[in-house]
């Protein structure tokens, strides 16, 4: 039923919980998971600040390196459960990149955490997950954060 799943992650607690759901979806026919992390470039276009603080210009690259490491750990867990994985680290606006990869990879399902790293408790949904739910062409499974 859900052969190829797109799993956008920011490595927040909620997104890590989603890995367990991905493993359970193997029984529903999941064969492959595309692990996607998007380095948000909206905050990286401030050249005047980079001139004063050159180390800031490397933030995107450092985030991508860190993301690859975390994504490899998730991939290993999924591979051990018998699920093939693809890791994609993209740069751009997160919800737009998620929707672009949804089409490129021709996935049958998107599994996303309800809240990202900001995890604002007063919000019903995080802004990225809310936009993905509204604009995705494929079904979206939203994994809720744990209640405190």
What does the alpha-carbon distance between residue 44 and residue 66 come to, in Å, rounded to a whole number? 17
**What does pTM read for this prediction?**
0.84
Residue-range domain boundaries for the chain: 4-143
Average pLDDT, rounded, for the chain: 84
Lowest mean pLDDT: which of 4-18, 43-57, 59-73?
A: 43-57
What does the alpha-carbon distance between residue 18 and residue 26 come to, in Å, rounded to a whole number? 13
pLDDT more than 70, % of the chain: 78
Query: Which pLDDT tens digit goes with each residue over 63-76?
Result: 888 899 999 999 99
Of 16 and 58, the structure prediction assigns the larger pLDDT to: 16
Domain 4-143 matching CATH 3.40.710.10: the answer reads no
């Amino acid at each position: 039923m859900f052969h190829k799943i797109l799993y956008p992650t920011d490595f927040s607690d909620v997104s890590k919980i989603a890995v367990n759901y991905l493993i359970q979806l193997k029984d529903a026919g999941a064969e492959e998971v595309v692990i996607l992390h998007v380095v948000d470039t909206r905050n990286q276009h401030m050249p005047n600040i980079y001139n004063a603080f050159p180390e800031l210009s490397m933030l995107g690259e450092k985030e991508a390196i860190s993301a690859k490491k975390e994504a490899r750990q998730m991939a290993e867990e999924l591979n051990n459960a018998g699920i093939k994985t693809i890791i994609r680290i993209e740069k751009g606006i997160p919800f737009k990149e998620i929707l672009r990869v949804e089409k490129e990879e021709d996935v049958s399902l998107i599994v996303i955490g309800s809240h990202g790293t900001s995890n604002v408790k007063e919000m019903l949904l995080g802004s990225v997950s809310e936009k993905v739910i509204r604009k995705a062409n494929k079904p979206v499974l939203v994994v809720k954060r744990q209640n405190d």
